[in-house]
Amino acid sequence: MLDRGLEALRWLRNCSMSGKGHFRPIGSNGFYRRGGARANFDQQPIEAQATVSACLEAYRATSDVWWDEHAQRAFDWFIGWNDLGSNSTRPRQADAAMGCM
């Protein structure tokens, strides 16, 4: 069961990376239907947070540093390593950027 969960998480992680190497959650404006194009905009903070949590759990279960590194990449989405370069930990920037990514 652990192997299946890690396989699914690895697939999701691969779908959630930009060509520039930063975390890019699938946007909620269209999502990612089978055979279709992934939505890039209307990214949600809950996706980044859930990815951090899932990757940290994978790291705890496997001791594979790869998972810890990807938890950090997902966390970096909050501090500006995202499509807009917006730091969502700064209230004024966050108000303008959230839901626009």
3-state secondary structure of 78: coil
Closest CA to 9 of 72, 68, 51: 51
Q: Each residue of 77-98: pLDDT tens digit? A: 999 999 888 888 876 654 545 5
3-state secondary structure of 79: strand
Q: Each residue of 10-37: pLDDT tens digit? A: 999 998 999 999 999 988 877 777 888 8
Quick one: pLDDT at residue 37? Answer: 81
Quick one: pLDDT at residue 34? Answer: 80
Cβ neighbours of residue 22 closer than 8 Å, sequence gap 6 or more: 73, 76, 77, 81, 82, 83
Q: With 60 as the cut, is the pLDDT of residue 4 above it?
A: yes
Copy the structure tokens of residue 52: 């951090």
